[in-house]
């Protein structure tokens, strides 16, 4: 019988393989899977519900907040809080971290960082968006309130990272430090099923991905690289949803670049919620992820919750090629 392994079955059967995988950790992964399904249901029906458009607010990094951003954010927070196995969260949509230990007396060793709905400028026009998450072991003692250090950890300390791509089909891709596995959502049974075991990024790809419309404000090196790609007739693909652009890069190889610009000299994307989790996935799949100073993203020091970074991420040979120009 052709039977797919569900996400729950996979997490439970792999619990013993990972030193980090206590029941608590596995439970957290499963809760993230369930929260993703609920977000996916609403994303899919967004045009039918009064949930498209701007919420009216501006988030901590100055972006306009969409109604769906707010919905997904509140859902992730509520879900993780009610799980009883998450000590606290930091979200791209909140200025400060949220400590669940104070009023709920939760003793968990894990905190979760997430971007509830990445690529939100695409929501209203039915283009793929994503949810990104990372799990850290907290540094403070379980009997104490959380502090900033529990969240501002380098990406190399992540114990798990993943994303959900709400695309033509919905996929959840994650790693706990070993292989990267991809699960496709089967709406008929309401489960994520293993469809892409042990994903590997090709060493070299045929697409590059960057918002070339900002080239006036890129560094000379990045512009030299772009000229080189154009002279090679290399195809450009840019969706403007990092999860979707990185997912394509993971599957087909190639490179995604968001460099510093005049508007955001240090880059636009946030280390904690976007760069670190996606870098862990790409590295574990055999790729590479650095910033414009050729520093490994996962080794970046994190000083505040909303710190940004430039990023050059993708196939190893493609990232190395960019280095020849910058």
The smaller minimum CB distance to ligand AHM, of residues 85 and 278, is found at 278
- Smallest separation, CB 248 to ligand AHM (Å): 12
C-alpha 108/C-alpha 123 separation (Å) is: 34
Q: Which DSSP string do the residues of 181-217 spell out, in sequence order? A: EEEEEETTTTEEEEEE-S----SS-SEEE--GGGGGG
Provide the minimum distance between the beta carbon of 177 and ligand AHM in the complex, in angstroms, as a whole number: 24
Q: Nearest distance from residue 224's CB to ligand AHM, in Å?
A: 20
Number of other residues whose CB lies within 10 A of the CB of residue 54? 13
- Considering the complex, state which of residue 115 and residue 150 has its C-beta at the smaller distance from ligand AHM: 115
Query: Residue 66 CB, nearest distance to ligand AHM (Å)?
Result: 9
Q: At its nearest, how many Å lie between ligand AHM and the CB of residue 257? A: 10
Nearer to ligand AHM, 82 or 121 (CB): 121
CB 87 within 8 A of CB 146: yes
Of 195 and 215, which has the nearer Cβ to ligand AHM? 215
**What element of type H or E holds 41?**
helix 23-44
Indicate which residues carry an active-site annotation: 63, 69, 92-93, 115, 117-118, 274
Question: Please, are residues 9 and 30 in contact by the beta-carbon 8 Å criterion?
Answer: no
Residues that bind ligand AHM (CB under 6 A): 63, 115, 118-121, 211, 240-242, 258, 268
Nearer to ligand AHM, 120 or 176 (CB): 120
Q: Characterize 152-183 residue by residue with b for buried, 16 or more Cβ atoms within 10 angstroms of its Cβ, and e for exposed.
A: bbbbeebbbbbbbbbbeebbbbbbbeeebbbb
Phi-psi domain of 62 (left: phi exceeds 0; alpha: psi -120 through 50; beta: other): left
Residues 6+ away with beta carbon under 8 Å from 243:
118, 119, 128, 129, 130, 131, 132, 163, 164, 165, 278
């Amino acid at each position: 019988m052709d039977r797919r392994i569900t996400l729950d079955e996979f997490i439970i059967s792999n619990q013993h393989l990972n030193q980090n995988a206590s029941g608590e950790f596995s439970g957290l992964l499963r809760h993230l899977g369930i929260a993703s399904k609920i977000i996916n249901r609403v994303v899919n029906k967004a045009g039918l519900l009064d949930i498209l458009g701007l919420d009216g607010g501006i988030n901590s990094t100055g972006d306009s907040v969409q109604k769906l951003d707010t919905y997904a954010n509140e859902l992730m927070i509520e879900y993780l809080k009610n799980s009883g196995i998450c000590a606290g969260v930091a979200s791209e949509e909140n200025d400060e971290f949220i400590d669940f230990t104070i009023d709920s007396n939760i003793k968990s060793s894990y905190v979760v960082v997430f971007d509830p709905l990445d690529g939100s400028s695409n929501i209203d026009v039915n283009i793929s968006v994503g949810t990104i998450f990372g799990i850290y072991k907290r540094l403070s003692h379980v009997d104490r309130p959380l502090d900033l250090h529990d969240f501002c950890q380098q990406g190399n300390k992540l114990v798990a990272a993943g994303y959900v791509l709400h695309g033509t089909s919905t996929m959840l891709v994650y790693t706990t430090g070993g292989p990267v596995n991809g699960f496709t959502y089967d709406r008929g049974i309401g489960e994520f099923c293993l469809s892409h075991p042990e994903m590997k990024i090709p060493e070299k790809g045929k697409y590059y991905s960057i918002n070339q419309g900002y080239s006036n404000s890129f560094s000379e090196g990045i512009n030299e690289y772009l000229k080189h790609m154009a002279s090679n007739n290399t195809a450009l693909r840019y969706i403007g949803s990092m999860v979707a652009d990185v997912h394509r890069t993971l599957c087909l190889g190639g490179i995604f670049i968001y460099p510093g610009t005049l508007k955001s000299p240090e880059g636009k994307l946030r280390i904690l919620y976007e760069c670190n989790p996606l870098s862990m996935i790409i590295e574990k799949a055999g790729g590479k992820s650095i910033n414009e100073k050729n520093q490994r993203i996962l080794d970046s020091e994190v000083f505040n919750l909303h710190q940004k970074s430039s990023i050059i991420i993708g196939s190893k040979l493609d990232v190395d090629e960019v280095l020849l120009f910058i």
